[in-house]
Amino acid sequence: MRKVWFVGAGPGAVDMITVRGRELLTRAGAILYAGSLVSPRHLEFAPAECVHADSSAMTLEEMVAWLVEQAGRHATVVRLQTGDPSLYGALPEMVRPLTRAGVAVEVVAGVPSFAASAAAALESLTLPESTQTVILTRVPGRTPMPDTERLRDLARHGTTLCLHLSITLWPVIREELFAAGWSASAPVVVVGKATWPDEETIVRGTLDTIEEACQRAGVRSQAMILLGPALGACQADAAPHSRLYAPEFSHGFRSTWEK
């Protein structure tokens, strides 16, 4: 069956794409890739005769039309996009018209930027007795946010926050976090272009200092903002331990009765 595959290329580095995603590239007849965010080196995995196009200057309607046309010519068509297709992409807007056109669709997950950023910065997003919840969100820019998802309301939970697509709106973020009761000394980690060879930048600071630090480091776009009580745990002298690995904690693979 002819099919369009939505493949997450991961956060940047070519070797961060999944094995399944790379295998699909090796047999693709056509690839539509997000050239503004996805490295063109991914195309090196494709057959020499593979047709490919950069979607960065296309409208949604043009992308869908291209995919429908190529699906009529090739058994395997890949829409290659940054990170994971389920996060901040145009997946529903593209799947609906493809389905109406009779084109089969499947999605291949990719490494999301928030996970790659935490790994690059040697940070854990959860910490026993501090936070067990991670909120993925953004602040309104050209795309508005639902009234029930204002950053100040989400931030009042005091959990880990991973802010996408928001580095240019730091003054808004700072104001919202202060309104939620966060301290000016709360730690912040910003990772620019996570995993991109020779371009990855990790900036650390506080709510009061991070904006200037990012400006000095030249981080102005393609950045993930990490905030919350778990930050710095890997560098701390001591931190709470998970009960899962405590000697007195039994489970299906380790019983305290055998001690």
Residue 250 lies in a domain: no
Q: Is the pLDDT of residue 258 over 60?
A: no
Residue that wins the pLDDT comparison between 246 and 257: 246
How many CB atoms lie under 10 A from the CB of residue 32?
26
What's the token pair of residue 49? 């005769």
Question: CATH number for the domain including 180?
Answer: 3.30.950.10
Residue 259 lies in a domain: no
Q: Is the pLDDT of residue 226 over 60?
A: yes
Per-residue pLDDT tens digits for 135-192: 999 999 888 899 999 999 999 999 999 999 899 999 999 999 999 999 999 999 999 9
Residues 117 and 229 in one domain: yes
Residue 244 lies in a domain: no
Domain that residue 220 falls in: 113-233
DSSP secondary structure string for all residues of 119-150: HHTT--S-BTTTB--EEEE---SSS---GGG-
Residues 22 and 85 in one domain: yes
Boundary residue ending a domain (73, 108, 143) = 108
51-54 vs 30-33, strand pairing mode: parallel
Position 244 scores a pLDDT of 64
Residue 239 lies in a domain: no
Per-residue pLDDT tens digits for 67-114: 999 999 999 999 999 999 999 989 999 999 999 999 999 999 999 999
Q: What is the pTM of this model?
A: 0.89
Q: How much is the average pLDDT of 108-131?
A: 96
Per-residue pLDDT tens digits for 30-70: 999 999 899 999 999 999 999 999 999 999 999 999 999 99
- Neighbouring residues of 106: CB distance < 8 A, sequence distance ≥ 6: 3, 4, 5, 6
Residues 96 and 155 in one domain: no
Question: CATH number for the domain including 45?
Answer: 3.40.1010.10
Boundary residue ending a domain (108, 142, 162) = 108
Residue that wins the pLDDT comparison between 238 and 153: 153
CA distance 84 to 113: 8
From the list 35, 87, 41, 95, the residue with the least C-alpha distance to 64 is 95
Residue ranges with strand state E in the chain:
3-8, 30-33, 51-54, 76-81, 104-108, 134-137, 160-163, 187-192, 201-206, 223-227
Residues 75 and 24 in one domain: yes
Query: Residue for token digits 């919840």?
Result: 133
Residues 126 and 221 in one domain: yes
- Tell me how many domains the chain contains: 2
Residues 140 and 206 in one domain: yes
